[in-house]
Amino acid sequence: MTNDSSEQSSGIERAQPETLRGRALMVSLTVSDLQQSLHWYRDVVGFFVDKEYERDGKPAAASLKAGSAQILITQDDGGKGANRVKGEGFSMQITTVQPVDEIAKRIKEHGGTLDSEPADTRWGTRVFRMRDPDGFKFVISSER
């Protein structure tokens, strides 16, 4: 057993010696239009800008936070092709204690669109889905 009280109370036994034990996962996304994405994440979804980065005097990236969720968005330099598909094959999930219906409503009021309206799941959460301007997929869900 480890010293982590949540693992102790759940009865989870970890292999020893311990391998990877992450505390958080952040994501870095390469976007087509940094300003458009910054507007979407900040003004539509509700992240705040923690730090902005420049390269050769031009905006190059922004670090965003919403609670303990963190995203770094970086400007695509076009080196891998301007029209390449982004965000295929995975989605990112943000869990919250806030009412997801209110979050979805705010996003729509600020010009965002949802892939799916808030709905209850079989496993007891409430979720909705959306995509950023580049097609990166997000699931916003309530905690159980």
Q: For residue 25, what pLDDT is reported?
A: 83
**Mean per-residue pLDDT over the chain, rounded:** 88
Q: For residue 2, what pLDDT is reported?
A: 44
The band of 60, judged by pLDDT with boundaries at 50, 70 and 90, is very high
Q: Do the Cβ atoms of 112 and 68 come closer than 8 Å?
A: no
pTM of the model: 0.80
Assign domain 25-76+87-142 one CATH number from 3.10.180.10, 3.90.550.10, 3.30.1360.170, 3.40.50.2300. 3.10.180.10
Q: For the segment 81-98, what is each residue's pLDDT rounded down to a tens digit?
A: 777 777 777 899 999 999
Instruction: Determine if residue 113 is left, alpha or beta; phi over 0 gives left, psi from -120 to 50 gives alpha, anything else beta.
Output: beta
Q: What single DSSP character describes residue 5? A: H
Q: Do the Cβ atoms of 75 and 59 come closer than 8 Å?
A: yes
Secondary structure of residue 116 in the 3-state scheme: strand
Q: For residue 42, what pLDDT is reported?
A: 97
Residue found by looking up tokens 């870095």 in the block: 28
Q: For the segment 4-54, what is each residue's pLDDT rounded down to a tens digit?
A: 444 555 577 777 777 777 777 899 999 999 999 999 999 999 999 999 999
